[in-house]
Amino acid sequence: MSNESKFKYPVTFSIDSDWGKLIIDTPEVKIFVKSGQDSNTTLTDNTITWNNGPRATGNKSYQLYLLSDSDLPSVNGQTGHGDDPNVSGRCTITTLCDFDTNTIVGHGENLQTFTVTVKE
């Protein structure tokens, strides 16, 4: 799937921890990184992971597109982040349009599942 996909949903994925992960479970949706990718980033079609190193808390932000060649009723995924007891970690997914929920906050090392509905 290319950046020329029919449906492009802009998303910001922000991390305040030593690592953070976003997984898109909807098979028809792929992740395209517009900006923010660096040497600490691992990217596949459906997963983006930032790993700053053990207990090396930092901040990272990505501008992404969720791409699809078909109009979908919803997008399913998971998100999580490092859970150092000395640091209150956080990862946030902010959708910029087209979804009924526009902010999802991850809760620690246990991945939090989410579903966002695409607006009609």
Nearest to 79 by CA among 28, 11, 1, 32: 11
Which residues are CB-neighbours of 65 under 8 A, at least 6 positions away?
A: 3, 8, 9, 10, 11, 31, 32, 34
Domains of the chain, residue spans: 7-117
Predicted local distance difference test score (pLDDT) of residue 100 = 53
Enter the pTM of the model.
0.83
Rounded distance, CA 55 to CA 28, Å?
35
Predicted local distance difference test score (pLDDT) of residue 1 = 46
What are the 10-residue block averages of pLDDT along the chain, 120 residues in total?
74 88 93 94 95 86 91 84 71 67 60 73
Which residues are CB-neighbours of 10 under 8 A, at least 6 positions away?
A: 34, 63, 64, 65, 95, 96, 97
- Tokens representing 60 are 């990272």
